[in-house]
Structure 1
Amino acid sequence: MPEPRLLTGPEAIAEGVRSLRTGHLVAFPTETVYGLGADARSPDAVAAVFRLKGRPSNNPLIVHVSGAEMARTVTASWPTIAQKLADAFWPGPLTLVLPKSDAIPPSVTASGRTVAVRCPDHPVALALIEAFGGPIVGPSANPSGMLSPTTAEHVIAGFPHDDLPVIDGGACRAGIESTVIDLTATPPRILRPGIIGASAIARVLGGPVDRLQPHGDPGSIPAAPGLLGPHYQPSTPVRIVESPEGALPTDALVVWSTDHHPAGGPVFRIPPNPEGYAAALYALLHTADRTGSARILVEIPPQPVDTDGQAVRDAILERLARAAAAPTAQSGQ
C-alpha cells in the first residue's frame, strides 16, 4: 500500500525538485504551515493537488515564489505598492493579490483574473523553489477543510495511504496562514488576516487599508483561499470559551490561564502572548484531537496592548471561529 515518504538530509531538496519536475507533488515546510507543492504552470500538476486534497475547484491556490523577480513572471502587472510590500515583508507571511499573467493556468485562480502570490520565509521552501527554478502552488498539506499541518508528522497523518514525499523542516514558527491583501482594490483590502496586520501594512504604504466584509456574494469567485466557510477543523468538535470552568471530564482543554482541568480531563497549555499562541495553536489542536475527547475547549487569547499584537489576535480568532463552525459542502482550504 502506498504511504508518505519523509525526506531529510542534504538530498531532500533534490528529491523534491525531481518530484516537481516530473509533474508530481511534494509537501514542504514554510514559516506558516506545511504546503502541498506542485508546478504552478502545469494544469495537470495543479489538478493533482485538488484531487489529493479533495479541494473545491472554486477555491484558488497561492503561488509561492523566490522573490519579486519571480513574482513578476506570474503577475500581469507589478505596481509600486507591490514592490513596497515585498521590500518590507518578503520573505514573510504576506500574500499579494494582483492581476495574473498567462503563465498561470485558470485552475490555480478558480478561473479568476487575479493571482495570489507570496515569498515564504523558510530556508527549505526557498531552496526548493530556487532549485526548481519556477513558481509552485502551496496550499496547506492536509485534506480539504481539516486542521492545517505545522509539522511533517501532521502531513503524514493526513495522507497515510498516499505516495507523497514530505520534506521535514521542523515545526513552523508562525503557525497560522499568511495575511492576504488584494492590491487590485482601492484602497488595498485584507482578504484574510494573519500575523502581518493592517496597521503594519498601512505604515509601509502610507495610506489606508480596508478589511473584507465577512458576508460577501456567495456566488462570487474568491480572490484568495480560506474564504469559503469552515476551515482548520480537527476531527473533534471545537468550542471557544472565555474560561475553562465548567469543562466536562470528556473535554480536552487548550488554555493559557491554568494547568488545571476542573473535571480531570487532558490539559494543554498554550502561550498567552499573541505570537506564541499562534505558533502553538494548530500543533496543540492536533495533539488534543488524538486524546479521544468528546470536545476540545479552546480559551480565547488575552487582549494585547499594542496594535500589531491585536492583529495577530484577530487572526487567531478568525481561525478559531472557522475551526468551531459547522462543516458545509462548500468548505475547503
Structure 2
Amino acid sequence: MASRETLLTTDVHEAAALIRRGELVAFPTETVYGLGADAFNPEAVRKIFEAKGRPLDNPLIVHIVHLDQLAHLVRDVPEAARRFMERFFPGPLTLVLPRHPDVPDEVTAGLPTVGVRMPRHPVAQAFLEACGTPVAAPSANRSGRPSPTRWEAVYADLNGRIACILQGDRSDMGLESTVVDCTGSEPVVLRAGAVPLEALREVVPETRLVGDETSLKARSPGTRYRHYAPQARVVLVDHPDEAVPDPRHAYIGLTPPAHPEAFGACCVCPDVETYAYELFDFFRRCDAQNCTRIYAQRVPHTGLGLALMDRLERAAS
C-alpha cells in the first residue's frame, strides 16, 4: 500500500511510466475517473483491490486504445460485438467477451470472460497510447463510494493509496459505461450505463436486459455489491412534496421543491442527462456538507433513465 503523497500531473508520459513500473494511476475518461494498472501485471492489478478495498471477486474492465490489442485479451470477437464496436468504439460501452488465457485471473475474478472498452476521452486515449499496454481499471474511488467525476474526488478518496492522479477536466457523462455480454446467442446488458438500451437495439435488435441470471451478473462490475452510495441516507421520491425540508437534508431531481432554500443542498436538473451528469458530484457535495438525508426524485426507466435509476436504487439500498 502506497503511503507517500500521491503525485498530481497533467503529463500522460509521466503517468504512463508509472503504469509500466507496476504502479497505480487514476486517469480521466468520458464516464468517470478510472484507477488503472497494467492488465498483464498481476501484482499491480492486486494493488487496485487493496487501494479501493474492493472485493476480489469483482472483475475489472480492461481499457484499450487500438482494436489490435484485442488479440491479447480475447479468444474471439462474436459478430454482435463487432457490430457494437463499429458503432460505439471509442465510447462508453464495455463488451464482455471470451477471455484469452494470457489475461490474469486477478483481472477477471477467475471468470472465463473479460470486459473490454475503448474510451473516447482524449486524455485517456493519449495516456493509454503512452502506456503501450491494456490497462485494467475500475472507478477511482474507495469501494462503495460515489464514482469520481473530478480528480479532486479521487484525491479525497485515494491520496496516499495510489502513485499518481492524471489530472483532467470533469468527466462529461457522469455515469459509468454500459456493460454488454456478447458471449451468448443474444447480447445481454449486465449493467445499464451511458449507452442506452434503445441505442444498442438499433444495432442488434435482439439485445436484452439481464434477468435473474446470477452467473451472468457476476461477469460485470457494479452489480453484486452496494455501490455509488454517499454517507447520507438516500431516499427515493416520486415528487419533491415527499421530501422533508431541513438544513441537514438535500434534494436532487427534475421537479423543483416548493422551498428549495429550506434544504442544505438542492439540485434541480432540466433533463435526465443533466441529472445523470450531476448525481455523483452532488452526492459528494452533500457529504462535504454533512447532510444526513438526500431525497432523489425517480425518473422513468427509459433511455438514460434506466442507468440513472440503477445507480439511485443501489445508493438507496
* TM-score, length basis structure 2: 0.93
Aligned to 1:331: none
Q: Distance in 2 between matches of 1:24 and 1:146?
A: 22
* Preserved contact between residue 252 and residue 267 of structure 2 (Cα < 8 Å): yes
Q: Does 1:212 align with 2:204?
A: no
Per the TM alignment, residue 235 of structure 1 is displaced from its structure 2 partner at its CA by 1.4
Q: Distance in 1 between matches of 2:163 and 2:240?
A: 39
* Preserved contact between residue 254 and residue 272 of structure 2 (Cα < 8 Å): no
- 1:42-121 aligned at under 5 Å gives the runs 42-121=41-120
Aligned to 1:236: 232
Deviations 1:21-47 (A, max 9, x none): 100010000000100000001100100
Aligned to 1:222: 218
Per the TM alignment, residue 133 of structure 1 is displaced from its structure 2 partner at its CA by 1.0
* Preserved contact between residue 94 and residue 179 of structure 1 (Cα < 8 Å): yes
Per the TM alignment, residue 4 of structure 1 is displaced from its structure 2 partner at its CA by 2.4
Moved over 6 A (4+): none
Per the TM alignment, residue 3 of structure 1 is displaced from its structure 2 partner at its CA by 2.5
Task: Give the letter aligned to residue 180 of structure 2.
Answer: I
Deviations 1:295-315 (A, max 9, x none): 1111223x4xxxxx9220011
CA RMSD of aligned residues (A): 1.9
Match of 1:252 among 250, 253, 270: 250
Cα distance change, pair 164–247 in 1 and its aligned pair in 2 (3 A)? farther
Specify every segment of 5 or more residues in structure 1 that has no aligned partner in the other structure, as ranges.
304-308, 326-333
Aligned to 1:26: 25
Task: Give the letter aligned to residue 175 of structure 1.
Answer: G
Cα distance change, pair 257–152 in 1 and its aligned pair in 2 (3 A)? same
Q: Distance in 2 between matches of 1:68 and 1:86?
A: 9
Q: Distance in 1 between matches of 2:252 and 2:200?
A: 31
SS at match of 1:126: helix
Cα distance change, pair 67–163 in 1 and its aligned pair in 2 (3 A)? closer
* Preserved contact between residue 259 and residue 267 of structure 1 (Cα < 8 Å): no
Specify every segment of 5 or more residues in structure 2 that has no aligned partner in the other structure, as ranges.
none
Match of 2:262 among 264, 267, 275: 264
Q: Which moved more, 1:170-179 or 1:63-72?
A: 63-72
Per the TM alignment, residue 101 of structure 1 is displaced from its structure 2 partner at its CA by 0.7
Cα distance change, pair 209–240 in 1 and its aligned pair in 2 (3 A)? same
Task: Give the letter aligned to residue 285 of structure 1.
Answer: F
Cα distance change, pair 289–96 in 1 and its aligned pair in 2 (3 A)? same
Cα distance change, pair 263–284 in 1 and its aligned pair in 2 (3 A)? closer
Q: Distance in 2 between matches of 1:277 and 1:296?
A: 14
Per the TM alignment, residue 117 of structure 1 is displaced from its structure 2 partner at its CA by 0.3
* Preserved contact between residue 260 and residue 267 of structure 1 (Cα < 8 Å): no
SS at match of 2:262: coil
Match of 2:302 among 290, 307, 310: 310
Identity of aligned residues (%): 37
Per the TM alignment, residue 78 of structure 1 is displaced from its structure 2 partner at its CA by 1.5
